[in-house]
Amino acid sequence: MTRRRHRLRVDGVVQGVGFRPFVFNLAESLGLAGHVANDSEGVILEIEGDPAGLATFRRRLEAEAPPLARIESVVAEPLPAVGAEGFAILPSLDSPGTSTCVPADSALCADCRREILDPGDRRHRYAFTNCTNCGPRWTIIGRIPYDRPFTSMAPFAMCPDCEREYHDPRDRRFHAQPNACPACGPRLSLEGEGVDPAADPLREAARLLAAGRILAVKGLGGFHLAARADDQAAVLRLRARKGREAKPLALMVADLDAARALAAVGDDEATLLSSPQAPIVLLERRPGAALAPAVAPGHRRLGVMLATTPLHLLLLAEVQALGAGALVMTSGNAGDEPICLGDDEARARLGEIADAWLLHDRAILRRADDSVAEVVGRRTLLHRRSRGYAPLPVLLDGGGAPVLAVGPELKNTVCLLKENRAFLSPHVGDLQNLAAYGFFQESIRTLQELLECGPETIAHDLHPGYLSTRWAREQARDAGKRLVPVQHHHAHLAAVLAEHGHREPALGLILDGTGYGTDGTIWGGEILAGNAAACTRVGHLSCVPLPGGDAAIRHPRRLALSHLRAAFGDELPDLPFLADQETAIVLRMVDGGVHSPLTSSCGRLFDAVAALTGGWREVRYEAQAAIELTALTTCAAVEAARPFAWEIDEAGDGLLLPCGPIIRGVVAAVRAGADAAEVSTRFHRTLLDLLVEASRRASRLTGLRTVALGGGSFQNGILAALLPPRLEAAGLRPLLPRELPPNDGAVSFGQAAVARAGLA
């Protein structure tokens, strides 16, 4: 039989994920010879044997790759057969200029789960169990290559049993860098008032939780604050101490059955919940679920995640044994600050919030907040891309000079574009917050250090006042960096197109909160045409004054007044809330144009409509009114609804989508007794009809048929579900974000794509 030999180069996330042992075992099982090694690019291997065996090897190499591997490409090259025998794993081939991907953290795998729950296993109840298929990565990596001495596992010397596993290519823990066991690995401790120091930390922590106490839990990418989810007093206490009045709190449960007890879990949702990324998934609440009302007041949906680490699973098991079920598991911080990282930081920053601290002696080196997602149709819609996803790169279809993009002000992430890979930081948060600004700088430093790349080009938002913009300008002044200012909604458009590898010009339907426009007004309800290289504004929602500028974000009624003035002029309709004291002041601002920049924001139109129903006098976070208004309706109701009247003006140079007719329709409905749910349903229907027709006309004007959908309003599950099929029915080709959220979390990526296009 003729023997053949091939050299294969495998690129992607293939290091630190058990790829070499997988190759070893596959080759041995097929009786093939050769060797495999890591190098600075990925994995390189040589394989020799009969042609049928080699063909099977090639097929199974990609089809059966380990769960955490992500193969980007396999390039094969024939070599002369040398009559090799046996298969070997060779030491890493070190070469300078590393471009290897940094792996992301991964939730507990089924095998490790079985072990920690098995009283006969040596890792029974061990909170730091992991293997090549699961466990911490990004959050423990000090620098690359990803080897134990450069992680926060460095201080722990492996015991003989762990050593044996680590060096045995047939073992699931072969080269599992964080490998540990109760004899040699990190340990838990519990501190706080009334804590029994002799007690088992997990049992004692569970006892405190069951009794309604608030615990700071040192997890994977930072601290969580935990409390019993069925204890109203505990949840209220947590809200009061954390300064979080309204936003729903995330829940953690032990398994899918526990999730199903709280909420409806479809097949795709079950898959997402139990994926290695294990995000918080938004689920429809089950009536009568055993939950404190304060967990998610005013929300039909719950944010639920499964226990993502052995520590969390063991804690939930202990809590369940004491008769409690789900735990509130919210970011360990006060207000909107970044999640806490170190023990001392947590003791200081969470001192007024937590009653006790469940700690361990393994350092967290990188912050990673929980990711948030939902299933829309059969797609995953990300709301926040963080733990489990970051820093896995988004691939672009081409290389070029590196770019650092510093993102917008809210929901900030930063992005380092190196060759064809865009590395986005985990969710940084809202930069108005000083601590978040520190995390922003830390995120830039981290990406630049880990990827050994300090780009000369920095892309930033057009808004002169954003802290991210100011930071970029300092770099230009102090370090001679070259700046590329990028309009916010152009970045949204470019982000969606770049994810799809779409280089040709396309339409962009960008429905958003706010972003600084090229004409100095505040944009946010835009129809754009272009690509990363250039874009023009083809149409937009009509503009109204934004009374008080950004401050109006917290006062939906100000937007209602502004829209009422635009729709009705001096003859305002008789609505109960107009009796409000603030009305006259706000109207004076609107009429006089005092601190009232014009805005075409779609998010603020939602605010106005919500406020016109009489509710949402004041909100605690951006888009709260819009989110809660949307929660009052369903896709089925919207499809069956009667729209309000709407129109489109074809102005000389584009399309104007006037809000006036819609506002007048809302007011008429409210005065006829419609409740917020009915208004919400009909408003969504109106927007859909309006946007489909506007897209059709924009397509006719420009000759473009592809429509990129982006902006924070596409976190609205109803728009995200109903708009794409309707656009398709109109003969257009909608593109939705896939790996990134539609909201401002993707803006840094779009900025990088725009800057890259300008460098080409």
> Of Zn ion, Fe ion, none, which one does residue 744 interact with (CB within 5 to 8 Å by kind)?
Fe ion
Binding partner at 512 among Zn ion, Fe ion, none, C-beta below 5 to 8 Å by kind: Fe ion
| Distance, CA of 721 to CA of 717 (rounded, Å) | 6
Q: How far apart are the first and last CA of the chain?
A: 51
- Which residues within the stretch 279-318 sit at the binding site for Zn ion (CB under 5 A)? none
Strand spans (E) along 50-85: 70-79
CA Rg, the chain, in Å? 27
CB of 396 to Fe ion, least distance (A): 21
- Select 312 or 489, whichever has its Cβ closest to Fe ion: 489
Compute CA distances 408 → 124, 667, 745, whole Å.
46, 34, 8
512 forms part of the interface with Fe ion (CB under 5 A): yes
Least distance (Å) between residue 184 CB and Zn ion: 3
d(CA 703, CA 620): 43
184 binds Zn ion per the rule CB under 5 A: yes
Of residues 118, 8, 141, the one with CA closest to residue 65: 8
Q: Please give the Cα distance from 569 to 590 (Å, whole number).
A: 11
H helices present in 518-581, as ranges: 556-568
Closer of 112 and 431 to Zn ion (Cβ): 112
Q: Which stretch binds Zn ion (CB under 5 A): 127-135, 565-573, 623-631, 692-700?
A: 127-135
Minimum CB–partner distance for residue 183 and Zn ion (Å) = 5
In the complex, minimum distance from the CB of residue 152 to Zn ion, in angstroms, rounded to a whole number:
16
- Reference 104, options 11, 219, 16; nearest CA is 16
Least distance between Zn ion and beta carbon 160 (Å): 8
User: Which one among 32, 36, 112, 315 touches Zn ion, defined by CB under 5 A?
Assistant: 112
Q: Could you tell me the smallest distance in angstroms from the CB atom of residue 710 to Fe ion? A: 8
Q: Is 109 in the site for Zn ion (CB under 5 A)?
A: yes
How many residues contact Zn ion, by CB under 5 A?
Answer: 10
In 3D space, the residue among 715, 686, 696, 706 whose CA is nearest the CA of residue 493 turns out to be 706
Asked if 744 touches Fe ion (CB under 5 A), the answer is yes
| Complete DSSP assignment for 459-505 | EEES-TT-HHHHHHHHHHHHH-PEEEEE-HHHHHHHHHHHHTT--S-
Q: Check: CB of residue 704 under 8 Å from CB of residue 505.
A: yes
- Give the residue with the Cβ less far from Zn ion, 112 or 590: 112
Name the residue with the smallest CB distance to Fe ion: 512
Total of residues contacting Fe ion (CB under 5 A): 2
- 633-641 contacts: CB < 8 A, separation 24 or more? 633/677, 633/680, 633/681, 633/684, 633/718, 634/718, 635/717, 635/718, 635/721, 635/722, 637/681, 638/681, 638/684, 638/685, 638/688, 638/718, 638/722, 639/685, 639/722, 641/681, 641/682, 641/684, 641/685
- Find the part of the chain contacting Zn ion (CB under 5 A) among 129-137, 305-313, 485-493, 623-631: 129-137
- Closest to Fe ion by CB, 370 vs 512, is 512
Residue 162 binding partner per list Fe ion, Zn ion, none, with a CB distance cut-off of 5 to 8 Å that depends on partner kind: Zn ion
Structure tokens at 11: 């690129």
Calculate the CA dihedral of residues 207, 212, 213, 214 and round it to 10 degrees. 120
430 binds Fe ion (CB under 5 A): no
Residue 131 binds Zn ion (CB under 5 A)? yes
Q: Is 157 in the site for Zn ion (CB under 5 A)?
A: no
Least separation in angstroms between CB 636 and Zn ion: 41
- Cβ 724 to Zn ion, closest distance in Å? 37
User: Can residue 26 be called a binding residue for Zn ion (CB under 5 A)?
Assistant: no
Q: Given the complex with Zn ion, which of 79 and 184 has the nearer CB atom?
A: 184
| Nearest CB to Fe ion, comparing residues 524 and 660 | 524
* Alpha helices for 297-391 (secondary structure H): 310-321, 343-349
390 binds, options Fe ion, Zn ion, none, Cβ within 5 to 8 A by partner type = none
Among 17, 36, 162, 619, binds Zn ion (CB under 5 A): 162
> Binds 746, which of Zn ion, Fe ion, none (CB < 5 to 8 A, cut-off by type)?
none
Residue 133 touches which member of Fe ion, Zn ion, none, C-beta under 5-8 Å by kind: Zn ion
How many CB atoms within 10 Å of residue 504?
8
- For residue 267, count CB atoms less than 10 angstroms from its CB and return exposed for 0-12, middle for 13-18, buried for 19 or more: exposed
- How far apart are alpha carbons 253 and 666 in whole angstroms? 41
Q: Does 526 participate in binding Fe ion (rule CB under 5 A)?
A: no
- Binding stretches for Fe ion (CB under 5 A): 512, 744
| Chain residues in the site for Zn ion (CB under 5 A) | 109, 112, 131, 133-134, 159, 162, 181, 183-184
